[in-house]
Structure 1
Amino acid sequence: MNKKIAILRGINVGGKRKILMADLRVLCEKLGWKEIKTYIQSGNVIFKAEASNSELENVLEKAILNTFEFDVPVIVRAAEELKQCVEINPFFKSEEDINHLHLTFLKEKPTKENIEEILSYNYEPDQFKIDKKDVYIYCEGKYHQSKLTNNFFEKKLKTGATTRNWKTVLKLVELSG
């Protein structure tokens, strides 16, 4: 079985769309997933399963809707994919950078036209680089003050997105190793 990471968008924020991680683990067990671990309340699940990433996304989204009665977008990556993201982050040069770094996961690879359009804007001092279905972000200040939000990338790239800070990304790689 392949090790995977499911990244949920927008749960347990401001008391809305609340899902306890224990309940999420039970739900994933019912789906037949193995070796399930969750990490922090933002909805990160490490597990083993055989299906494709997109199949796993659809199955978990439907299971959450049926169980908790609200929509939660889910993005799944193979553990090896996430490890490669860490290795190629263009903004990670030293531990000093870690608090400025974020990774936005895209549901689908954006079109060339949408990438060209988004690159025509200037967002300084914040910076980003798009690589396939990932967006590497460097925020000079706090992420919540940046224009480089999930909504921004979803609107401009016309695909679903969710973001994790670099500390969380590193921990997910460690837990999935």
Structure 2
Amino acid sequence: MCESVGFSDVRTYIASGNVVFKSRLSAKSVKAALKRCLEAYAGKPVGVLIRTGQEMEEVLAANPFKSTAPNRTVAIFLDTPPPAETLDGVSGQQTEEIALGKREIYVHYGTGMADSKLKIPVAKTGTARNMNTVAKLAEMSAE
């Protein structure tokens, strides 16, 4: 799909929608092209979030929970900066720690995600990746 719209050096990482590629198009044009392809494939609109390799490095560096297990900390990627009142809408928070980033919400699930009841309404249009995945995508984009 990515190659069909002219992207080069296309590589995927695990089966959860992670694609690293090169393109001369703007982020807006890349997003539009991917959305068109995905909608044609799936028969309905599919959300697309774009980050450059540099931005992935920045997300990794900005992780406020660096001293915790990377598989228990996620970055929830958003299209826009999380609103200042994001934390006011949170429900079900138990041991989870939450911090706002540039266009991300960081969540550390201290006791794991399996039993978490955490709900962050602003995050429903985003997609989460744990810090191991963020690190791997940053590494792949640097290659």
TM-score normalised to the size of structure 2? Answer: 0.86
Q: Kindly provide the amino acid, as one letter, of the partner of residue 162 in structure 1.
A: T
Give the percent of matched residue pairs that are identical in Structure 1 and Structure 2.
Answer: 27
Residue 69, structure 1, aligned to residue 43, structure 2? yes
Are 2:82 and 2:104, in contact at CA under 8 Å, matched by a contact in 1? no
Runs of 5+ consecutive residues of structure 1 not aligned to the other structure: 1-26
Residue 161, structure 1, aligned to residue 126, structure 2? yes
User: Relative to total residues, which structure has the larger strand share, 1 or 2?
Assistant: 1
Match of 1:13 in 2: none
Runs of 5+ consecutive residues of structure 2 not aligned to the other structure: none
Aligned match of 1:99 in 54, 63, 71?
A: 71
TM-score normalised to the size of structure 1? Answer: 0.71
Aligned match of 2:89 in 88, 112, 118?
A: 118
Give the aligned CA root-mean-square deviation in angstroms.
2.1
CA 1:54/1:118 → structure 2, altered by over 3 Å: closer, same or farther? farther
Match of 1:81 in 2: 55
Cα distance in 1 between the residues matched to 2:83 and 2:74: 22
Are 2:78 and 2:123, in contact at CA under 8 Å, matched by a contact in 1? no
CA 1:101/1:116 → structure 2, altered by over 3 Å: closer, same or farther? closer
**Equivalent position SS for 1:64:** helix
Match of 1:170 in 2: 135
